[in-house]
Structure 1
Amino acid sequence: MITDSELRAASILIVDDQEANVLLLQRLLADSGYTCVRATRQPAEVCALHRHQPFDLILLDLQMPEMDGFQVMECLKSCLLDDYMPVIVLTAQPGHKLRALQAGARDFISKPFDLLEVRTRIRNMLEVRLLYRHLAHANAVLEATVAERTAELRESEARFRSLAELASDWYWEQDEHGHFTRVSGPVLEMLGISVDPLAGAADPARGDGWNALERQTLRDTIAARQPFLDFTFSRVHPGGAVQRFRVSGEPMFGEACRFVGYRGIGVEITA
């Protein structure tokens, strides 16, 4: 929420070539409690003033000699810090109102001034402007927080993988179809499964030597998306040598709890 103290401290610039109008607006703003008000009767100065210290609100007369309000708004577009032009135009010409809004003005005040209307439109404009600024700040803080948390997660994941690699012969990840997406260590050479899923069924015709019952048990566990700890399976080579392995794994889930695969560690425990 925007507090009254924030509103009163908002920076306002009055731009009008008529001294009487400037004095009237200064008096009205002072009576309303605004404490940071500047004024200029030289429209060519507006862009430089706004560039030096951006204003929360610019009360801009449209009909001025040498440089009118429309030209001032075109100039302001080159020095805005964001896409919000904080301008209320002052005009006695009804036909200029739509054109001013199309040029980027946020609102208009008709001449001759209705003091209640002037106060109301200025307050409403400042509330919107300050809320817009608060939102931009909140978005920046959120983006910074997300970036920080993302970096922390990546660092944590890197530590986890490093520890997993130190504590095992290999670290592995699979996608939802059971195919390896990441392998660290000699798992492919040790298991001879450079393309097959870890839980894929053995093919007797290939003579790959995997224990079919063990592989089916592991396959069922993965199909049920259950974690497994120290699961042991073996392989018999053509010469009769037996290799034994122990693996542990857990399912991974992404956004909306969608299953995205498995990750785990393994060691060879052949005597």
Structure 2
Amino acid sequence: MNNGQDILNAKILIVDDQESNVLLLGDLLHDAGYTCVTSTRDPYAVYELHRKNCFDLILLDLQMPGMDGFQVIEGLKKIDSDGYLPVLVVTAQPSHKLRALTAGAKDFVSKPFDLVEVKTRIHNMLEVRLLYKKLEQYNQKLEQTVLERTTELRESEARFRRLTELSSDWYWEQDKNGHFTKIYGPVHEMLGIHVDDALDTISNDQGVQWNEAEREILEANLAARRPFLDFVYSRINPDGSQQYLMVSGEPTYDLFGRFTGYRGIGKDVTGTIISKNKSRAQSRANL
């Protein structure tokens, strides 16, 4: 609900070519406690006044010389592009009421004035208008918050990728069906695999001999959706050289606990493994 003082502090514009009507409505509003009331008898001035002041309510007479209220409404639409036109029309013609509402006005009061009705309609319309403005402000704040969070997320992802690049040779993600969805780093060259443009399928290059026992353990971990850390498996390349690869991965789940795939990192540890094997062999030879 809007605070009563917010409604009384709302900005109101009275537009009527008859000075008596301007005075009557002005006195009514001041007596009711409204503090920001402006008036004009010139319909041509309404557009600029509203552009500068963004009135919360415009009391608009429809029958005015030179430019009638319908023409004023059309001009105001160019300013209130958000679709909410805060116009309460004043008319003595019953046939004009529906036409004014169709043109974009939000409500109407009839001449001669019923002062209680006028005050009630003004209060109700201002209450709706201020609620609308608060909703608009909330949506703008929400949009800004989403933008800020999106920026933070992108920065976080960039930092994560950079850390991954520093600590490993590649980063990978799979969907729940085992298809690769993301790969960063020279995984193709290191693993000797071909991934199509959609990152959907994988095929091994000819001539590569994997250690099948190690591969079965890795595939079993993936099938059971178990996390694994620094798992090392090896292969013999077509040129006869031995290659060792170390991979870590973890299953991923959505907010409802449903399995969505895997993500992890990998590294070529051939140099490290061969160096350790040589050191062990040398140690045994020295015994």
TM-score (norm 1): 0.90
Contact 2:193–2:204, Cα closer than 8 Å, also in 1: no
Q: CA deviation at 1:36?
A: 0.3
- 1:1-271 aligned within 5 A: 1-80=1-80, 82-195=82-195, 207-237=207-237, 241-253=241-253, 259-270=259-270, 271=274
User: 1:184, 1:112 → 2: CA distance?
Assistant: 76
The one-letter code matched in structure 1 to 2:63 is Q
The alignment covers a number of residue pairs equal to 269
SS at match of 1:267: strand
Contact 1:246–1:267, Cα closer than 8 Å, also in 2: yes
SS at match of 2:2: coil
Q: CA deviation at 1:220?
A: 2.9
Contact 2:16–2:40, Cα closer than 8 Å, also in 1: yes
Structure 1, 142-151 or 229-238: larger mean CA deviation: 229-238
TM-score (norm 2): 0.85
Structure 1, 192-201 or 89-98: larger mean CA deviation: 192-201
Q: CA deviation at 1:116?
A: 1.2
Q: CA deviation at 1:240?
A: 5.1
Identify if the C-alpha distance between structure 1 residues 89 and 198 changes in structure 2 by more than 3 Å, giving closer, same or farther.
closer
Per-residue Cα deviation, 1:46-98 (whole angstroms, up to 9, x for no partner) = 11111121110000111112211111111111222532110000111111110
Identify if the C-alpha distance between structure 1 residues 239 and 91 changes in structure 2 by more than 3 Å, giving closer, same or farther.
closer
Contact 1:62–1:89, Cα closer than 8 Å, also in 2: yes
Contact 1:61–1:89, Cα closer than 8 Å, also in 2: yes
User: 1:202, 1:189 → 2: CA distance?
Assistant: 11
Contact 1:201–1:212, Cα closer than 8 Å, also in 2: no
Percent pairwise identity: 62
SS at match of 1:117: helix
Q: CA deviation at 1:200?
A: 7.3
SS at match of 1:226: coil
The one-letter code matched in structure 1 to 2:98 is L
User: 1:201, 1:213 → 2: CA distance?
Assistant: 19
Contact 1:232–1:247, Cα closer than 8 Å, also in 2: yes
SS at match of 1:12: strand
Identify if the C-alpha distance between structure 1 residues 239 and 45 changes in structure 2 by more than 3 Å, giving closer, same or farther.
closer
Q: CA deviation at 1:33?
A: 0.6
Alignment partner, residue 278 of structure 2: none
Contact 2:169–2:185, Cα closer than 8 Å, also in 1: yes
Structure 1, 219-228 or 66-75: larger mean CA deviation: 219-228
Q: CA deviation at 1:171?
A: 2.1
SS at match of 2:168: coil
User: 2:200, 2:31 → 1: CA distance?
Assistant: 78
SS at match of 2:55: coil
Contact 2:61–2:89, Cα closer than 8 Å, also in 1: yes
User: 1:187, 1:32 → 2: CA distance?
Assistant: 76
Contact 1:10–1:36, Cα closer than 8 Å, also in 2: yes
Q: CA deviation at 1:228?
A: 1.8
Contact 2:14–2:60, Cα closer than 8 Å, also in 1: yes
